């Protein structure tokens, strides 16, 4: 007689049917329980909810965590966007701050120019430094004022404190300024308070030397150096700087002008320079005709001496006189 074999499916199928039936009955009972409108059933429902819902917090924990992560991510995106906007605004503010600092510095330099006390007879034109065309062999700057503004060669230029240089080359709208430190610059100066005269010679260094000093023993470091006005090159009394003793034991001048920040220069219309039409006059003055000697001794000698006549009868009279002298000697 053959045996009937039973597999796992023969036990699982009835079990599933049983569980499904129980679940259906429970759901049907819950449905009916929630549909019955009775005070007792209502109290039972409340008790059931109070017993089941608090125990379901562990089920809602992942959902709560996921919603918190999503909210944090949204907040992070908002913070990141706000950070980008703040960085952009900060860059704009830094640009405005730099512009404000530059305007403040320009305003301070213009105020310094206004504070300079000059001789009332001096008039001036303020120009902006357009470019620094200096080199190891030549130090100069360009101004945005020229012949249309009445600028002429040789006029002195100053910043807010001291002498900067002189005009050397004028265009219609621009002018070149040779700085005091240029090798072609030679300025007659006076050292105060000793009153010693000297020449400030540029050597392309920030500390130009003093040369041809009358008495070096009278000059001390810290003495004030101003233009002397000799030669009519510069007006007298313009501040140049202070005397210092350099490492090479030479007397040099610390310039009062700030050559590192030349933005505005004041061109002094201080005097009229005579144009040089004859360069030979710079070497030697013209020769004058000889003047007659009008001294008393010369006049007396001229009155006592006989006139030397050489024409007509005067010559014959002289000859007859000589013949009579010869006859007397014969006799």
Contacts of 165 (CB under 8 A, 6+ apart): 140, 141, 156, 157, 177, 178, 179, 180, 182, 185
pTM: 0.48
Write down the domain spans for the chain.
60-115, 123-269
Q: Report the alpha-carbon distance of residue 138 to residue 116 in Å, rounded.
A: 28
Q: Which parts of the chain sit beneath pLDDT 70?
A: 1-10, 33-38, 41, 45, 48, 51-60, 105, 107-122, 133-138, 270-331
Q: What is the number of other CB atoms lying within 10 angstroms of the CB of residue 156?
A: 25
**Helix%, strand%, coil% for the chain, nearest 5:** 45, 20, 35
Residue 209: DSSP 8-state: B
Residue 123: DSSP 8-state: E
Q: Is 150 left (phi over 0), alpha (psi -120 to 50) or beta?
A: left
Token pair 């992560």 is found at 69
Q: Report the alpha-carbon distance of residue 105 to residue 142 in Å, rounded.
A: 20
Contacts of 138 (CB under 8 A, 6+ apart): 182, 183, 184
CB 197 within 8 A of CB 188: yes
pLDDT for position 255: 93
State the Cα angle at 302 between 296 and 308, rounded to 5°.
Answer: 170
Question: What CATH number is given for 123-269 in this structure?
Answer: 2.40.10.340
Q: Report the alpha-carbon distance of residue 50 to residue 60 in Å, rounded.
A: 16
CB 241 within 8 A of CB 146: no
Express as a percent the part of the chain with pLDDT over 90.
14
pLDDT for position 266: 86
End-to-end CA distance of the chain: 224
Q: Report the alpha-carbon distance of residue 131 to residue 262 in Å, rounded.
A: 10
Residue 259: DSSP 8-state: G
pLDDT for position 282: 44
Contacts of 283 (CB under 8 A, 6+ apart): none
What beta strand segments (E) does 193-293 contain?
196-201, 210-211, 224-227, 239-245, 251-255, 264-269
pLDDT for position 315: 42
pLDDT for position 136: 60
pLDDT for position 117: 52
- What is the tens place of the pLDDT at every residue in 173-225? 899 999 999 988 899 999 988 889 999 999 888 899 999 998 888 999 989 99
């Amino acid at each position: 007689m053959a045996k009937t074999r039973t597999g796992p499916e023969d036990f699982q199928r009835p079990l599933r049917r049983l569980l499904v039936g129980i679940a259906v009955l429970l759901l049907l009972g819950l449905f009916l329980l929630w549909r019955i409108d009775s005070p007792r059933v209502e109290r039972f429902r409340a008790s059931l909810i109070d017993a089941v819902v608090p125990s379901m917090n562990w089920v809602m924990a992942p959902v709560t965590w996921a919603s918190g992560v999503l909210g944090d991510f949204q907040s992070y995106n908002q913070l990141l966007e706000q950070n980008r906007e703040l960085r952009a605004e900060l860059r704009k503010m830094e640009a405005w701050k730099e512009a404000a600092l530059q305007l403040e510095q320009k305003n301070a330099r213009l105020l310094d120019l206004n504070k300079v006390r000059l001789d009332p007879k001096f008039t001036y034109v303020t120009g902006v430094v357009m470019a620094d065309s200096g080199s190891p062999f030549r130090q100069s700057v360009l101004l945005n004022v020229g012949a249309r503004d009445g600028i002429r060669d040789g006029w002195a230029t100053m910043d807010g404190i001291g002498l900067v240089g002189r005009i050397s080359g004028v265009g219609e709208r621009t002018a070149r300024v040779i700085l005091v430190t240029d090798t072609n610059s030679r300025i007659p100066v006076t050292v105060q308070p000793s009153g010693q005269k000297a020449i400030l010679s540029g050597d392309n260094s920030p500390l130009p030397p003093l040369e041809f000093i009358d008495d070096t023993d009278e000059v001390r470091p810290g003495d004030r150096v101003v233009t002397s006005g000799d030669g009519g090159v510069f007006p007298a009394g313009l501040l140049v700087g202070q005397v210092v003793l350099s490492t090479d034991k030479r007397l040099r001048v610390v310039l009062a002008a700030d050559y590192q920040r030349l933005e505005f220069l004041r061109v002094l219309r201080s005097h009229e320079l005579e144009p040089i039409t004859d360069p030979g006059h710079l070497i030697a003055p013209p020769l004058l005709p000889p003047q007659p000697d009008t001294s008393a001794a010369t006049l007396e000698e001229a009155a006592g001496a006989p006139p030397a006549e050489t024409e007509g009868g005067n010559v014959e009279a002289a000859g007859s006189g000589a013949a009579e002298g010869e006859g007397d000697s014969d006799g």
